[in-house]
Structure 1
Amino acid sequence: MRRVALLIALSLVAAACGGTADDSATTTLSNEPDGEVTTTAARSEPGIPGVASSGDLVSVDYTGTLTDGTQFDSSIGRQPLQFTIDAGQMIQGFNDAVIGMAVGESKTVTLPPEQAYGDYSENLIIDVAIDQVPEGIAAGDELVSAAGQVVTVVAVTDTSATIDTNHSLAGETLVFEITLVSIDG
């Protein structure tokens, strides 16, 4: 009986010492050109009430701007944006910015292209036969591909159309003002 108690006690001590990996690592979201960190988000332990963590369904209000202040999107005046953290529904930097936020907390994050829509790539500009695009298209028109991707017509000739398949925000540094409205599940 005493051996069993000793084994149980040793097992508890070993579990406490060995434990699991620390999930509270801090993730740096952005570095400004001068090396100053714009913000960091501490990854919270799952299950802390009122704090967003991986797998949570969250609602946020946000405004997205370019570094020159040009607004490209906002949920203000509409319904808050709802998404599941770490489910691949959002750009990585936005997703990571929400982790560790408390309900009602607001923050501003600056995301370089690699944490947003990636770098602009000349390899994503393609030529397609004119019979593969809608009749009457012109340079500057936006089309939706069969996969649901918005693409931009760059040029049109009698035989082909040049299509830019880069995301319209590729290569851009993005600034988001984010408020965690609720954790819904």
Structure 2
Amino acid sequence: MAEQRQARFFDTVSMSYTASVPGGEVIEQVPESAPVTLSLGSGRVLMAVEAAMMGMQVGESRTFNIQPEDAFGRYDPKLKQDVPRAVFGDRIDPQPGMVLALSVERNGRKQQVPATVLAADHQSVTVDYNHPLAGKTITYTVKLLAIGS
């Protein structure tokens, strides 16, 4: 019986996967009925996911954890800020849970970045510029469906 080929960098693979956070909440799911096809090493999925797939064979499933620093970064409490409510004027009524595009200056240039509203009162709005998944370990269950040439 011939040895089955293993996935390696630059292979084109088809895969299904489920990504979840602690507590089991599914944050992304790609079913076997609609797999994603990509070249390992292309950066279409997290590099740590691609690395964990090395050596997998067609039909094999693996479950592994991706640490925050290899996923969406560590949570940085300095990225929480209070913004005067007046900044929003009458354009928007910020409410906890909303994700807003706010302008910040980075390296001398204005950029739009997402910020999650944590709290709001009559005077100020507390926003968090961290990615919503920052600081979380992501658990992936991946099934390798095919290896192309």
Using structure 2 for the length normalisation, give the TM-score. 0.70
Identify which range, 65-74 or 174-183, moves more after superposition: 65-74
Secondary structure of the 1:182 match is strand
User: How far apart are residue 74 of structure 1 and its match?
Assistant: 1.4
Secondary structure of the 1:120 match is coil
**Which residue of 1 is the match for residue 92 of structure 2?**
135
Using structure 1 for the length normalisation, give the TM-score. 0.59
- Which runs of no fewer than 5 residues in structure 1 stay unpaired? 1-48
Secondary structure of the 1:114 match is helix
Which one has a larger percent strand, Structure 1 or Structure 2?
Answer: 2
**Which residue of 2 is the match for residue 166 of structure 1?**
130
Secondary structure of the 2:51 match is helix
User: How far apart are residue 139 of structure 1 and its match?
Assistant: 1.6
Q: 1:56 to 1:138 in 2, by over 3 A?
A: same
Secondary structure of the 1:143 match is strand
**Which residue of 1 is the match for residue 147 of structure 2?**
183
Asked if 1 retains the 8 angstrom alpha-carbon contact of 2:20 and 2:26, the reply is yes
- Which runs of no fewer than 5 residues in structure 2 stay unpaired? 104-110
Question: RCO higher in 1 or 2 (8 Å CA, sep ≥ 6)?
Answer: 2
User: What amino acid is aligned across from residue 131 of structure 2 in structure 1?
Assistant: H
Aligned-partner Cα distance in 2 for 1:108–1:133: 48
Asked if 2 retains the 8 angstrom alpha-carbon contact of 1:142 and 1:150, the reply is yes
Asked if 1 retains the 8 angstrom alpha-carbon contact of 2:61 and 2:142, the reply is yes
Identity over aligned residues, as a percent? 30
Aligned-partner Cα distance in 2 for 1:122–1:140: 17
Aligned with residue 118 of structure 2, among 151, 154, 159 = 154
Q: How many residues align?
A: 138
